[in-house]
Amino acid sequence: MDVFINGLFVVVGVVFGWLLQYLFPGRDARRLAEAQERLAQIGQERSEWEQRYRRLAGFTPTARINGRAPSAQFILISANEEIEAFQLDYLTDSGICVVSESLNSLRGREVQVPLARAPVQQIQSMKYDPRTGAADIRLRVLLRVLGEQREVTIPARVENVLIGSAYHRNVVG
């Protein structure tokens, strides 16, 4: 008896489902199409996020200081992705930020960040070795890569260089 009732419910369910599909075919088809479209969209977004993550995980910037006093000096940053350098921080050797400066539109896979003499002099006067006049500093450049913020920190040394009859501050790093 229970088998007969369960069988009857299955048959009624199938007939009712068929009847609903017959009476409202566009609505279910529309829902299915929308669901398939959304699944395809989610798959595409997932693929884009995975690709972006791989690119971020493989992001490898290199930085070095170019130039020699009294000429202009700058930090040369090379990367395997397009970057935007937007801030330069002048730090003591212990990592305390003394001066920050905003950078204007420095974009590319290779950017040159100019060093300002006044912040270098300010840090040197705070943390110099009285015997040599040299000071250890750090230079931190804040970057945007693939919409994320990253930083590159360069350990450096400020040295006094005698050229002719004048001393100049040369940053080496």
Does 3 score more than 60 pLDDT? no
What per-residue confidence (pLDDT) applies to 132?
Answer: 83
Separation between Cα atoms, residue 99 and residue 96, nearest integer Å: 9
**Mean pLDDT confidence for 26-38:** 72
Is the pTM of the predicted complex or chain greater than 0.85?
A: no
At residue 130, φ and ψ (nearest 5 deg) are: -60, -25
Mean pLDDT of 148-152: 91
Q: Is the pLDDT of residue 113 over 70?
A: yes
Q: pLDDT band for 133, please (50, 70, 90 cuts).
A: confident
Predicted confidence (pLDDT) per residue in 77-108, tens digit: 999 989 999 999 999 989 999 999 999 879 99
Who wins on pLDDT, 8 or 164?
Answer: 164
First-to-last C-alpha distance (Å) of the chain: 90
Contacts of 124 (CB under 8 A, 6+ apart): 133, 134, 135, 137, 158, 169
pLDDT digits (tens, 9 = 90+) for 119-132: 988 988 887 778 88
Instruction: At 64, give phi and psi (nearest 5°).
Output: -150, 160
C-beta neighbour count of 134 within 10 angstroms: 17
Q: What is the DSSP letter of 24?
A: S
Does residue 74 sit in helix, strand or coil?
Answer: strand
Residue 39 CA, chain-centre distance (Å), reads 29
| pLDDT tens digits, one per residue of 58-79 | 778 999 999 988 888 999 999 9
Helix (H/G/I), strand (E/B), else coil: 103: strand
For the ranges 50-59, 137-146, 147-156, which has the lowest average pLDDT?
50-59
Contact 84, 144 (CB under 8 A): yes
**C-beta atoms surrounding 87 within 10 Å:** 15
Cα-Cα-Cα-Cα dihedral of 167, 116, 90, 97, to 10°? Answer: 110
